[in-house]
Amino acid sequence: MRYERCRMLFGEADFTKLQQAKVLILGVGGVGSYALDCLWRTGVHHITIVDYDTYDETNQNRQIGSDAIGEYKTEVLQARYPTITAINQKMDLAWVETFNFSPYDVIIDAADTTKVKIEIAKKCYPKLIMSTGSAKRFDTSQIQVASIWKSTGDALARKIRNELKKAKFDRNFTVVFSPEEDRCIEKGSFVGVTGAFGLTVCSEAIKKILKS
């Protein structure tokens, strides 16, 4: 059976929880696509993905589905993982304001835009697992999980913390981050790290589902 080994690991009751959970993934690039693959292979099939980008040749070093250059990520991944729901939508502040996040048990933020990430945190923090900066690094051993307020060494996480403090927001949510120093100036990337971020996000999502 396809999920026999997952059932062995989690037990029937917890595996049923995973099958029934509803997960939202915001952004399905180098981190989000691996989180999607991990969740789907573990038996979480009520997954909704949101993205608006098409694949580019420069995505091919790190993104699942990126052989389909020029095609929308949501459409390619919908075909690859047929049980998911794909929303081809640009995520901006207006979208965050109007989208209904309430049906989801876990919300994974693998989006790129800092302002959007901040607003998602304000709106969804109890259910949120946020990926911070995964580019410019190649040492997977430095990847960590913590509250946003205890994350260190990552410029994106620091900016998010500062903006939340300005907004007098002090609630906790989980982030996946790496304090590894930048290895380049531009956004160089390594699938070992971006993929490991996605797999770590997946693990945290599974833990959150099983605790609920």
Residue range 143-154, pLDDT digits in tens: 999 999 999 999
* Residue-averaged pLDDT of the chain: 97
pLDDT on residue 113: 94
Residue 1 has pLDDT above 90, yes or no: no
pLDDT on residue 212: 87
pLDDT tens-digit series, residues 24-34: 999 999 999 99
Q: Percent of the chain having pLDDT more than 90?
A: 97
1 Cβ neighbours under 8 A, 6+ residues apart: 7
For residues 151-162, give the mean pLDDT. 96
Amino acid letter, 41: R
The CA radius of gyration of the chain, in Å to the nearest whole number, is 16
The CATH number for 134's domain is 3.40.50.720
Helices (H), the chain: 4-10, 12-20, 32-41, 73-80, 93-98, 114-124, 155-166, 191-211
132 Cβ neighbours under 8 A, 6+ residues apart: 151, 154, 156, 157, 160, 175, 176, 177, 178
pLDDT tens-digit series, residues 11-20: 999 999 999 9
pLDDT on residue 188: 95
Instruction: Please give the model's pTM, rounded to 2 decimal places.
Output: 0.97
Closest CA to 104 of 49, 145, 33, 37: 49
Domain, as residue range, for 16: 4-211
What is the total count of domains within the chain?
Answer: 1
Residue 187 has pLDDT above 90, yes or no: no
Residue 41 has pLDDT above 90, yes or no: yes
pLDDT tens-digit series, residues 62-105: 999 999 999 999 999 999 999 999 999 999 999 999 999 999 99
pLDDT tens-digit series, residues 104-148: 999 999 999 999 999 999 999 999 999 999 999 999 999 999 999
